[in-house]
């Protein structure tokens, strides 16, 4: 064991080093980044800050009961608003009947197109391999015997249909969605527990901030939050 020295925090002086930092110590203030053509840290900072400012996405109202949420949604629809979404812990028929139905078309046609493409692709590949690329005369049987192609064609048809439908489903549902502006609303985690939320998007043609807040307050909203995107 060696004796530690408190001044140098170690076992002793290093060879050719008489102090922690040799004299003289020169220092120089770093120059600004805008002295060169690249890395201009001061250029257009105000403009960039203005461009990055968040904009209002909409207003989110929190309700303790589904009846209050349904009544608020009904009045919002009567006011001409269409960009309304509901977030509830379980399906509420009264709210579903009031909210506008957004038809997500495209899943069925894409699934059908995938099935047709899979069937045609599988049949063509088998026909090309058996009748064109490597024909074999086995017992005088026809080279393009389509009954032999049905099993593989059916499997590839299902594969393409399921893959196409799954991709179309994700695109129609805007998934995967890792973040949404409504997540910033206070107590939004209770949307899966015991609270009922309505969100009204600001880009709606009939959106008026004061009018929307008044409607939500009139129907007993426990909290009203403005969320930004």
Residue 215: the pLDDT is: 98
Helices (H) and strands (E) in the chain, counts: 6, 4
Convert 202-219 to b/e letters by CB count within 10 Å (16 or more is b): bebeebeeeebbebbeeb
Neighbours of 143 (CB within 10 A): 13
Q: DSSP for 51-101?
A: HT---EEEEEEEESSHHHHHHHHHHHHHTT---EEEE-SS--HHHHHHSPP
Half-sphere exposure of 13 (CA within 13 A, CB side): 8
Each domain of the chain, given as residue ranges in start order, spans: 107-172
Q: Looking at the predicted structure, is the pLDDT value of residue 71 above 90?
A: yes
Residue 149: the pLDDT is: 94
Residue 108: the pLDDT is: 94
- What mean pLDDT value characterizes the chain? 85
From CA 209, how far away is CA 55, in angstroms rounded?
Answer: 13
Rg (CA), the chain: 34
For CA atoms 126, 127, 131, 132, the dihedral sign is negative
Where does the chain show beta strands of DSSP type E? 56-63, 84-87, 196-201, 223-228
Q: Which residue has the tokens 């590839």?
A: 156
**pTM score above 0.75:** no
Half-sphere exposure of 93 (CA within 13 A, CB side): 0
Q: Which of 151, 140, 226 is nearest to 186 (CA)?
A: 226
Lowest mean pLDDT among 55-69, 119-133, 165-179: 165-179
What average pLDDT does this structure show over 83-91? 95
For CA atoms 125, 130, 132, 134, the dihedral sign is positive
Residue 8: the pLDDT is: 54
**The pair of three-digit structure tokens given for residue 210, joined into one six-digit string:** 């004061």
Do 208 and 55 form a contact (C-beta atoms < 8 A)? Answer: no
What average pLDDT does this structure show over 140-150? 89
């Amino acid at each position: 064991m060696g004796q530690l020295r408190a001044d140098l925090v170690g076992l002793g002086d290093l060879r050719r080093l008489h102090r922690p930092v040799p004299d003289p110590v020169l220092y120089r203030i770093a120059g600004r980044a805008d002295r060169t053509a690249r890395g201009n840290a001061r250029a257009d900072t105000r403009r960039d800050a203005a461009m990055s400012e968040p904009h209002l996405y909409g207003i989110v109202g929190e309700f303790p009961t589904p009846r209050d949420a349904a009544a608020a949604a009904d009045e919002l629809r009567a006011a001409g608003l269409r960009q309304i979404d509901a977030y509830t812990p379980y399906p509420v028929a009264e709210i579903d009947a009031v909210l506008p139905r957004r038809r997500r078309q495209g899943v069925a046609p894409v699934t059908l197109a995938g099935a047709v493409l899979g069937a045609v692709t599988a049949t063509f590949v088998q026909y090309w391999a058996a009748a064109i690329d490597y024909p074999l005369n086995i017992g005088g049987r026809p080279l393009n015997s389509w009954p032999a192609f049905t099993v593989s064609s059916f499997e590839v048809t299902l594969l393409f249909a399921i893959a196409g439908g799954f991709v179309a489903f994700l695109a129609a549902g805007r998934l995967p969605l890792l973040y949404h502006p409504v997540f910033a609303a206070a107590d939004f985690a209770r949307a899966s527990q015991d609270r009922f939320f309505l969100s009204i998007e600001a880009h709606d043609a009939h959106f008026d901030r004061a009018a929307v807040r008044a409607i939500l307050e009139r129907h007993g909203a426990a909290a009203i939050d403005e969320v930004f995107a």
